[in-house]
Amino acid sequence: MTVRDATPGRRPTTGRRARRTALAAALALVLAACSGEQNALDPAGPYAQAPHDLIIWVFGIAVVVFVLVQGLILFTTWRFRRREGDDAIPAQTHGNTKLEVLWTVIPALILAAISVPTVQLIFEQMDEPEAEYLTVEVIGHRWWFEYYYPDYDIYTANEMAIPVGVPVRLEMTATDLARAADLGVIHSFWIPRLAGKQDLVPGHTTYLNLQADEPGRYLGQCAEYCGLSHANMRARVVALDAGDFEAWVADQTTPADVPAEGTLEARGRELFGDLGARQACASCHAVWEGDGPRGPGQGPDLTNLFSREEFAGAIHDLTPDMLRAWLANPNELKPMQYDVNGIGMPNLNLTDEELDALVAYLMTLD
Structural domains in the chain, CATH included, are: 29-70+101-253 (2.60.40.420), 264-362 (2.60.40.420)
- Nearest alpha carbon to residue 343 among 206, 148, 143: 143
pLDDT band at 59 (very low <50, low <70, confident <90, very high): very high
Q: Give pLDDT tens digits for 29-41.
A: 555 555 457 888 8
Q: How far apart are the first and last CA of the chain?
A: 62
Quote the pLDDT of residue 326: 93
In the predicted structure, residue 93 carries a pLDDT above the cut 80 = no
In the predicted structure, residue 61 carries a pLDDT above the cut 50 = yes
Question: Cα–Cα distance between 205 and 170 in angstroms, integer?
Answer: 10
Return the bridge partners of 120, or none. Answer: none
Helix, strand, coil distribution of the chain in percent, nearest 5: 40, 15, 45
Burial of residue 54, with CB atoms counted within 10 A of its CB: 0-12 exposed, 13-18 middle, 19 or more buried: middle
Q: Give pLDDT tens digits for 122-133.
A: 888 888 998 899
Q: Give pLDDT tens digits for 297-331.
A: 888 999 999 999 999 999 999 999 999 999 999 88
Question: Cα–Cα distance between 321 and 297 in angstroms, integer?
Answer: 25
Return the bridge partners of 198, or none. Answer: 189
Question: Cα–Cα distance between 303 and 256 in angstroms, integer?
Answer: 6
Question: Cα–Cα distance between 140 and 300 in angstroms, integer?
Answer: 11
Burial of residue 110, with CB atoms counted within 10 A of its CB: 0-12 exposed, 13-18 middle, 19 or more buried: middle
Strands (E), 38-164: 134-141, 144-149, 154-157, 159-163
Contacts of 316 (CB under 8 A, 6+ apart): 310, 322, 326, 333, 334
Residue type, 255: P
Q: Which has more confidence, 180 or 148?
A: 148
pLDDT band at 3 (very low <50, low <70, confident <90, very high): very low
The full DSSP string for 244-295 is HHHHHHHHHTSPPPPPPTTSHHHHHHHHHH--TTSPPGGGT-----SSS---
